[in-house]
């Protein structure tokens, strides 16, 4: 390898000394943020999560068409989320050792097939299979695209992760709105129209994969014969494991509460306030739009003030508003859900970057674990909350979950690794 090529390889990537594949640190990298790649990833995240959000958005249609109960609705979410959550950490570990640039368009192809199957599914079991296929696409897309976002960050890790997450959150928000305008009036078969969005994402991701494969770190890695070593964490192993355990518990509180709104909010509004399905979808869109705005805000704020303060404010700060939600009227229910979405969503980018700094060189594993665990918890939470709703009523669910943000107090146990640096 020539000296000029070696000089182009970031220090943290470890390709000159043998550590695992990673990306530039702010101190080592002089390159500007690659906005074209970041915007492309954000756009594809938008298209991916927009298509994914169609699954919960059409629950009222499926419930009436197939005479499903809340428990069966929860199992559809579980089928989708478990496929993604179980495979994402595996994908992350494999690609940490051997990145696969062109896996991104292949992943979106799986989602495309899942959408087409969902549009023609004639039985409950076929719906479960279709939802699982959409989840399979996510299991590859999220860890690999998160790695590329970090590669293109120019050292602004929080900003890059937030821009990437913004696309996903915006897609999740617009999905129910499109479902209200397109799928609700035209029926289940109209889901096939959204396969055009998946096809567009395949084309864009093909271009991203070409950039990814030509990145200096990738070029050098292909000629690197010795096994990759893993960079050392800034903390002892026991403290790293303890911090990861706390992060996963915090994700539990965040994602199970978020699942209660994204999966059952429309049913709650219809039952408590006698809204139409379309009106309830508009209010769900308002909540998910707030989630998108909060997601983008969390990363840059974390870059400036640190990840722990953002995590503190995000999870624990939502508690008083969650506590008030079950007792609010229609107008205040809408306002409170927007405030909760803004505050609660700001944690995710900060949590991912914090975990990546805990485990340097494990970018894919961390992204797969965080996204996968989030999906898994969302699915398990949806299934459990569905059973509770069948037994006690949908309104009771929101009384129970309003105490989940209190788990945010565990943020005090997270070590301040930024101060150590």
- pLDDT at position 5: 40
- pLDDT at position 47: 93
Phi, psi dihedral angles at 361 (to 5 degrees): 80, 0
Helical pair 103-120 and 195-213, crossing angle rounded to 10 deg: 170
Q: What is the 3-state secondary structure (H, E, C) of the chain?
A: CCHHHHHCCCCCCCCCCCECCCCCCCCCCCCCCCHHHHHHHHHHHHHHHHHHHHHHHCHHHHHHHHCCCHHHHHHHHHHHHHHHHHHHHHHHHHHHHCCCCCHHHHHHHHHHHHHHHHHHCCCHHHHHHHHHHHHHHHHHHHHHHHHHHHHCCCCCHHHHHHHHHHHHHHHHHHHHHHHHHHHHHHCHHHHHHHHHHHHHHHHHHHHHHHHHHCCHHHHHHHCCCCCCECCCCCCCHHHHHHHHHHHHHHHHHHHHHHHHHHHHHHHHHHHHHCCCHHHHHHHHHHHHHHHHHHHHHHHHHHHHHCHHHHHHHHHHHCHHHHHHHHHCCHHHHHHHHHHHHHHHHCHHHHHHHHHHHHCCCCHHHHHHHHHHHHHHHHHHHHHHHHHHHHHHCHHHHHHHHCCHHHHHHHHHHCCCHHHHC
- pLDDT at position 11: 37
- The candidate with the shortest Cα–Cα distance to 414, out of 335, 336, 355, is 355
- The candidate with the shortest Cα–Cα distance to 378, out of 55, 45, 47, 44, is 55
Per-residue pLDDT of the chain (421 residues; tens, 9 = 90+): 443 444 333 333 333 333 343 444 443 343 555 888 999 999 999 999 888 878 877 787 888 888 888 788 878 877 887 777 777 888 888 877 777 788 899 989 999 999 999 888 888 899 999 988 988 888 888 888 888 888 888 778 888 888 888 888 788 778 777 877 888 788 788 888 988 999 999 999 999 988 888 876 666 555 554 445 555 566 788 888 888 888 888 888 888 888 788 778 888 999 899 988 878 888 888 888 888 788 777 777 777 777 788 888 888 888 999 999 999 999 999 999 999 988 988 877 788 888 878 887 777 777 777 777 766 666 677 778 888 888 888 888 899 889 988 888 888 888 877 665 5
What pTM does this model have? 0.66
97 close to 228: Cβ distance less than 8 angstroms: yes
- pLDDT at position 83: 79
80 close to 58: Cβ distance less than 8 angstroms: no
- pLDDT at position 138: 82
- In the chain, the domains with their CATH numbers are 29-420 (1.20.1250.20)
- pLDDT at position 227: 44
- pLDDT at position 241: 86
Q: Taking the chain, what is the end-to-end CA distance rounded to the nearest angstrom?
A: 31
Half-sphere exposure of 406 (CA within 13 A, CB side): 6
């Amino acid at each position: 390898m020539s000296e000029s090529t070696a000089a182009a390889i970031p220090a943290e990537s470890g390709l000159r000394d043998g550590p695992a594949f990673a990306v530039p640190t702010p101190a080592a990298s002089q390159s500007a943020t690659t906005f074209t790649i970041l915007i492309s990833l954000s756009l594809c995240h938008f298209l991916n999560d927009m298509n994914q959000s169609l699954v919960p958005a059409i629950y009222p249609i499926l419930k009436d068409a197939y005479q499903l109960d809340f428990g069966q609705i929860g199992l559809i979410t579980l089928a989708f989320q478990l496929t993604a959550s179980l495979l994402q950490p595996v994908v992350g570990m494999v690609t940490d050792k051997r990145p696969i640039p062109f896996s991104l368009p292949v992943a979106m192809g799986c989602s495309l097939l899942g959408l087409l199957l969902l549009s023609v599914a004639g039985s409950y079991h076929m719906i479960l299979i279709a939802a699982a296929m959409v989840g399979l696409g996510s299991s590859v897309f999220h860890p690999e695209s998160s790695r590329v976002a970090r590669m293109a960050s120019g050292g602004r890790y929080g900003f890059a992760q937030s821009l990437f997450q913004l696309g996903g959150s915006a897609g999740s928000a617009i999905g129910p709105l499109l479902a209200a305008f397109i799928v609700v009036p035209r029926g289940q078969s109209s889901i096939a129209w959204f396969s055009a969005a998946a096809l567009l994402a395949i084309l864009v991701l093909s271009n991203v994969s070409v950039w990814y494969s030509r990145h200096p770190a990738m070029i050098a890695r292909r000629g690197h014969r010795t096994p990759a070593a893993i960079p050392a964490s800034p903390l002892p192993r026991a403290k790293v494991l303890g911090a990861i355990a706390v992060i996963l518990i915090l994700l539990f509180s965040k994602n199970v509460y978020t699942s209660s709104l994204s999966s059952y909010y429309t049913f709650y509004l219809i039952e408590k306030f006698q809204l139409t399905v379309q009106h309830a979808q508009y209010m769900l869109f308002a909540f998910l739009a707030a989630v998108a705005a909060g997601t983008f805000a969390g990363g840059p704020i974390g870059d400036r003030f640190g990840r722990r303060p953002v995590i503190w404010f995000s999870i624990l700060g939502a508690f008083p508003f969650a506590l008030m939600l079950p007792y609010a009227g229609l107008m205040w229910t809408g306002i409170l859900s927007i405030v909760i979405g803004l505050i609660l969503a700001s944690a995710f980018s900060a949590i991912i970057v914090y975990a990546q700094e805990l485990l340097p060189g494990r970018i894919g594993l961390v992204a797969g674990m965080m996204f996968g665990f989030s999906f898994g918890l969302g699915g398990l939470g949806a299934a459990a909350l569905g059973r509770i709703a069948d037994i006690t009523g949908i309104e009771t669910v929101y009384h129970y979950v309003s105490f989940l943000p209190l788990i945010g107090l565990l943020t005090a146990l997270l070590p301040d690794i930024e101060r150590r640096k």
